[in-house]
């Protein structure tokens, strides 16, 4: 690995050279039945394969990924608890379609509602959760669309929280991948539900079997959500993890349920066969940086984050780093102050830049402190 040191300028621009393959299935040799698809790596967000990925299509119950995202954000922020009882309104109980036949006035914990949404795509539970969080489905849908905008989902308009047919309720494979990534990356507890194959509710009186066959039949499956209506046809966002790399495969408008799963498996197989995540570290431990006029003589720099680089299989041996560090820094030093950077290359191509920071502040010496330090040095020299 290559390494060099240089004096750090007062400021520098951090660049990230994340590659995006963006090959079409035809270029990859895959034969898919779906009208639109996209394959994404979770950690980096890199797009590995796509075709017609921005075409606006009906998502059916894949819509519920956004419903689940808002619910998990509320749970993880402490706004609601998994044990909170959710009361069922007449409106929620009358949703129809995929359901667990909730009755008006019935109560079920948030955790059981989430399980019903992820495993059997319960429309009634989706609406009950929406009402619990926002007061009404309409208010919740407004939050869904706001969150979609924040995630950059420019192809998306939600009109309900279930995916039941509604004119103008559309999204794209690209946008589904974005919300899927947000859910699995930042709310990993959703796996507790999306990996269930069979379970039950109401003390075992009502059985549940996952609509996602991959949970049972595809190695490493972690989720995520299927969807079907006669107009949307068969859709899904499939997630799976192998060797520490998690992929998101989105397929839309597959003509049959079997072809939907075959399309998803083909995309995932392609990703696992052709890409890997490589952990990257500096060649040697980071040396302390001298602090001029500081109450501490040195500060120990740290990488801002762990670095794992997505590479094509066979490129692992081409990964190298270049280290750029300040020789010294003048106090005061702030917590999080940039002291250098680690550039990560594949061959000569820059793929990532990781800032190197001061993990703690260092105050500046007072004038008496400066004279005291000088006197101490003189005495020691004598």
- Cβ pair 252, 37 in contact under 8 A: yes
| 64 tagged catalytic | yes
- Cβ pair 325, 340 in contact under 8 A: yes
- Cβ pair 255, 33 in contact under 8 A: yes
Residue among 64, 115, 225, 265 flagged as catalytic: 64
Best CA proximity match to 259, nearest among 234, 276, 223 = 234
| 111 tagged catalytic | no
Cα separations in angstroms, 141 against 135, 157, 198, 227 = 11, 10, 30, 18
Residue among 33, 61, 180, 254 flagged as catalytic: 61
Q: Rounded to whole angstroms, how far apart are CA atoms 65 and 182?
A: 10
**SS3 assignment, position 109:** strand
Best CA proximity match to 209, nearest among 222, 194, 198, 195 = 198
Helices (H), the chain: 25-28, 64-76, 90-93, 110-120, 123-134, 137-150, 173-186, 191-194, 214-217, 257-274, 367-381
| 103 tagged catalytic | no
Best CA proximity match to 195, nearest among 176, 214, 174 = 214
Q: Rounded to whole angstroms, how far apart are CA atoms 62 and 235?
A: 7
Distance of CA 136 to the CA centre of its chain: 28
- Cβ pair 284, 4 in contact under 8 A: no
Q: Rounded to whole angstroms, how far apart are CA atoms 285 and 305?
A: 15
Residue among 121, 172, 254, 276 flagged as catalytic: 121
For the record, the structure tokens of 90 come out as 């007449």
Q: Which residues are catalytic?
A: 61, 64, 121
């Amino acid at each position: 690995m290559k390494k060099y040191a240089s004096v750090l300028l007062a400021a520098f621009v951090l660049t990230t050279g994340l590659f995006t393959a963006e090959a079409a299935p035809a270029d990859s040799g895959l034969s898919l039945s779906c009208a639109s698809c996209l394959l994404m790596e979770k950690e980096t967000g890199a797009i590995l394969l796509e075709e017609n990925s921005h075409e606006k299509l009906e998502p059916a119950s894949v819509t519920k990924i956004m419903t689940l995202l808002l619910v998990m954000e509320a749970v993880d922020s402490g706004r609601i608890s998994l044990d909170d009882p959710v009361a069922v309104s007449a409106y929620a109980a009358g949703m129809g379609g995929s359901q667990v036949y909730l009755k008006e006035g019935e109560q079920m914990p948030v955790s059981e509602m989430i399980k019903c949404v992820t495993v059997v795509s319960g429309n009634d539970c989706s609406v009950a959760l929406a009402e619990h969080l926002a007061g009404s489905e309409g208010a919740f849908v407004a939050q869904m669309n706001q969150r979609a905008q924040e995630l950059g989902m420019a192809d998306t308009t939600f009109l309900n929280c279930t995916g039941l047919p509604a004119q103008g309720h559309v999204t794209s494979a690209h946008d589904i991948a974005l919300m899927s990534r947000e859910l699995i990356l930042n709310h990993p507890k959703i796996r507790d539900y999306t990996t269930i194959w069979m379970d039950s509710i109401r003390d075992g009186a009502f059985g549940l079997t996952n609509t996602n066959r991959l949970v049972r039949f595809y190695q490493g499956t972690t989720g995520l959500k299927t969807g079907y209506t006669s107009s949307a046809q068969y859709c899904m966002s499939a997630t799976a993890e192998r060797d520490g790399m998690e992929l998101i495969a989105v397929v839309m408008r597959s003509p049959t349920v079997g072809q939907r799963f075959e399309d998803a498996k083909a995309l995932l197989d392609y990703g696992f066969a052709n890409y890997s995540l490589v952990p990257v570290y500096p060649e040697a431990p980071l040396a302390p940086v001298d602090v001029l006029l500081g109450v501490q003589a040195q500060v120990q720099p740290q990488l801002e984050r762990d670095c794992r680089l997505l590479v094509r299989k066979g490129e692992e041996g081409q990964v190298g780093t270049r280290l750029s560090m300040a020789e010294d820094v003048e106090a005061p030093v702030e917590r999080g102050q940039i002291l250098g950077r680690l550039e990560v290359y594949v061959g000569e191509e820059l793929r990532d830049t990781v800032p190197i920071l001061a993990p703690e502040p260092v105050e500046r010496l007072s004038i008496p402190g400066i004279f005291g330090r000088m006197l101490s040095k003189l005495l020691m020299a004598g």
